Structure 1
Amino acid sequence: MPDIKDVAKLANVSIATVSRAFNNKPDVSEKTKKKIFDIAKQIGYEPSIPARTLTKRKTNILGLIVPDISNPYYGEVVRGIEDTCHIYSYNVILCNADNRREKEFQYIDILKNRWVDGIIFHSDYFLKEHFEAFKSKNIPVVLAGRATELDTAYVAIDNFKAAYDAVNYLISLGHERIGIIHGPLDGMKETVDSVARLMGYRKALEEAGLNVYDELHMEADFKAKGAFLAAKKMLEGRIKPTAIFAISDMMAMGAINAIYDSGLRCPEDISVMGFDNIDLCEVTRPALTTIAQPMYEIGAIAARMLIKMIENRETGSIQPKKIILDHKLMIRDSCSRIKN
């Protein structure tokens, strides 16, 4: 493998000059830098990231932790982050936690001790002690898709209000027995977004004077198969729903499959409301009525916020921004009015 000595010898300069060229020092002429870079490229030499970091204290690398990259929602958020980072010449290390808290904590421990300039979390398990650990190392943090009371930047939607609006739309269609398929509620797997959407659902029903049936509350793992099993159980219960609100589109699609598997139809027998507005919503049958999150924008804004924090780190701290974006009800074919 070629090393810095080979570059220096071929360029007829000192090793120190090669090092200073790669660190863009002004005392090395542009002509000499070009000569050194051309030779390095020809022989396949690349300076190590740690070596450059010791001098520049900057790697242009961001860490990104997401719960489940197989979910199309997270894929769209990541696309927004990566597209923005490309514009600003930053690279991204993607860490997929597989919806496992212990795996996410492992990634947090790794990233806080590695050569990253900042970290984006799309996470419900980011705790105060994690924030304090990164703060002590002067590593800026942005939360994507989740609001927090911590003194860190975030960009998200109002999940409570979005769920409240979704259920009120079902109520406006005459539905009174509205079921919900939400995420796990035990301490280790419970997520902030799931709880907020459940609370929005309950608030809408209570304000309308409707019963909140325990039998119509089902828990699933954010995947279509888990929601399919949850919906089947709901449909076999004593109280039958006329509509189901699933807190993610993948869960909503699982619920629709369960409806047809039970010999029923959507929306003629049971309406289904989703949440996210992933691309599959428009091509599934029936096309899914859902709450649209600005997924790409959440990622792009989070990346821009973090890069600005990094670029301003040396000149002075900036106040972390807390941004709430708008959601939108997308009316398609999976919800219908109750027939008298």
Structure 2
Amino acid sequence: MANIDDVAKLANVSTATVSRVFNNSPYVSEKARESVLKAAKELGYEPSILARSLAMKKTNTIGLIVPDISNPYYSEVVRGIEDVCNIYKYNIILCNADNSRDKEIQYIDMLKSRWVDGIIFHSDYFSDEIYDIFKDRKIPLVLAGRATNYDVPYVVIDNKKAAYDATKYLISQGHKKIGVIHGDLNGMKETVDSVDRLYGFLDAMKEAGLKVYDELIKESNFKAKGGYIAAKEMLKGSVKPDAIFAFSDVMAMGAINAIYDAGLRCPEDVSIIGFDNLDLAEVTRPALTTVAQPMYDIGAVAARMLIKIIDNKKISEKRVILKHRLIIRQSCI
């Protein structure tokens, strides 16, 4: 197998010149560059990516940690990240943490050992412990879909305002007994999506002078089965909801099935509104009214921010808040 010395000898240049050619250095004449590339092709030589990365102290690799890749929301965010990384010639190491704090920490250490240039972190929580780990390891970091009070760049929507808008729409349709299916509230910490959305819901209900029934507030796990179970429990209670606001489309779809299994109709008996605007929302029956998150853009903007940070370029905004939209379909009347 040919090595760098063989290429230098055949091209009649120094090994330093060969190295500069493969590192795209501008300090090489066009004649020398052509000679080196021709010699490398004849010998079948390919430079060591690891050796080049160590020399340049850059691997052109980004780590990405998500809590549950089986959730279609995260798949769309990942697609945005991947498309931008492809444009800028970055590779991605994707880590699925399975909603485990321990796995997140393991993946951070693994990615650090793989010499990634930075990490995009998309998790249900951004705890003090996780922040300290990133700080100690000095890894460039951007949060996707997660806000924080720490001095860390992030890309999000205004979850509180989005939930407020969704609840106001249900109220405008005449609904008074509105149920909620939320995710883990993590001690009501503000940086958790479900907390911000719950506060938005409560603000809209209070503003309208409507009662919030404890038995109509159910916790779930952002999965269809979880949404089904939560809605089923709600519908069996003494206070029956006339509408349900699920904090994800997937949970909303499970809730629709629970309505039908209870012998009721959606939206005639119980209206449903979701959150995310997944592709499935449009083809669900009834088609799902939902809050649209710019999922692809969340990923794409986060990737651009991280690449700028890696390249020591200034980012104009460290806290990017993208717009949401309310998509009206057939699951609410």
Same fold? TM cut 0.5: yes
User: Which deviates the most, 19-28 or 97-106?
Assistant: 19-28
Corresponding residue number in structure 1 for 2:320: 323
Supply the distance in 1 between the matched residues of 2:163 and 2:16 (Cα, whole angstroms): 60
Label 1:224 to 1:87 Cα distance change in 2 as closer, same or farther (>3 A): same
Label 1:44 to 1:176 Cα distance change in 2 as closer, same or farther (>3 A): farther
For residues 139-195 of structure 1, the C-alpha deviation after alignment (integer angstroms, 9 at most, x for no partner) is 321111122111111111011111111111111111111111111235699970011
TM-score by length of 1: 0.89
Label 1:190 to 1:157 Cα distance change in 2 as closer, same or farther (>3 A): closer
| Offset at residue 305 of structure 1 (A) | 1.3
Supply the distance in 2 between the matched residues of 1:33 and 1:10 (Cα, whole angstroms): 13
Corresponding residue number in structure 1 for 2:102: 102
| Offset at residue 49 of structure 1 (A) | 3.4
Q: Is the 8 A contact 2:140 2:309 kept in 1?
A: yes
Supply the distance in 2 between the matched residues of 1:188 and 1:165 (Cα, whole angstroms): 21
Corresponding residue number in structure 1 for 2:164: 164
Percent identity over paired residues? 69
Supply the distance in 1 between the matched residues of 2:230 and 2:251 (Cα, whole angstroms): 9
Label 1:20 to 1:195 Cα distance change in 2 as closer, same or farther (>3 A): same
Corresponding residue number in structure 2 for 1:124: 124
User: Which deviates the most, 84-93 or 8-17?
Assistant: 8-17
Supply the distance in 1 between the matched residues of 2:289 and 2:153 (Cα, whole angstroms): 31
- Mapping for residues 143-162 of structure 1, pairs under 5 Å: 143-162=143-162
- Mapping for residues 25-44 of structure 1, pairs under 5 Å: 25-37=25-37, 40=40
- Mapping for residues 133-212 of structure 1, pairs under 5 Å: 133-135=133-135, 137-186=137-186, 192-212=192-212
Supply the distance in 2 between the matched residues of 1:125 and 1:17 (Cα, whole angstroms): 48
| Offset at residue 27 of structure 1 (A) | 4.3
1:282 aligns with 2:279: no
1:68 partner amino acid:
D
TM-score by length of 2: 0.90
Corresponding residue number in structure 1 for 2:252: 252
Label 1:137 to 1:10 Cα distance change in 2 as closer, same or farther (>3 A): farther
- Mapping for residues 227-242 of structure 1, pairs under 5 Å: 227-242=227-242
SS at 2:232 equivalent: helix
Supply the distance in 2 between the matched residues of 1:128 and 1:152 (Cα, whole angstroms): 12
Query: Considering only aligned residues, what root-mean-square deviation do their CA atoms show, in Å?
Result: 2.5
Q: Is the 8 A contact 1:312 1:318 kept in 2?
A: no
SS at 2:240 equivalent: coil
| Offset at residue 42 of structure 1 (A) | 6.4
Supply the distance in 1 between the matched residues of 2:226 and 2:10 (Cα, whole angstroms): 62
Corresponding residue number in structure 1 for 2:53: 53
Label 1:11 to 1:289 Cα distance change in 2 as closer, same or farther (>3 A): same
For residues 95-143 of structure 1, the C-alpha deviation after alignment (integer angstroms, 9 at most, x for no partner) is 1112222212211122233321121111233334544444455532111
Label 1:42 to 1:227 Cα distance change in 2 as closer, same or farther (>3 A): farther
Supply the distance in 2 between the matched residues of 1:165 and 1:84 (Cα, whole angstroms): 31
2:245 partner amino acid:
F
Corresponding residue number in structure 2 for 1:19: 19
- Mapping for residues 54-93 of structure 1, pairs under 5 Å: 54-93=54-93
Label 1:130 to 1:39 Cα distance change in 2 as closer, same or farther (>3 A): farther
SS at 1:267 equivalent: coil
2:99 partner amino acid:
N
Q: Is the 8 A contact 2:183 2:221 kept in 1?
A: yes
| Offset at residue 44 of structure 1 (A) | 5.6
- Segments of 5+ residues of structure 2 without an aligned counterpart are none
Q: Is the 8 A contact 2:82 2:92 kept in 1?
A: yes
| Offset at residue 35 of structure 1 (A) | 4.3
Q: Is the 8 A contact 1:23 1:55 kept in 2?
A: no
1:329 partner amino acid:
L
SS at 1:112 equivalent: helix
- Segments of 5+ residues of structure 1 without an aligned counterpart are none
Supply the distance in 2 between the matched residues of 1:268 and 1:46 (Cα, whole angstroms): 66
For residues 308-336 of structure 1, the C-alpha deviation after alignment (integer angstroms, 9 at most, x for no partner) is 222226xxx66762111111110000001
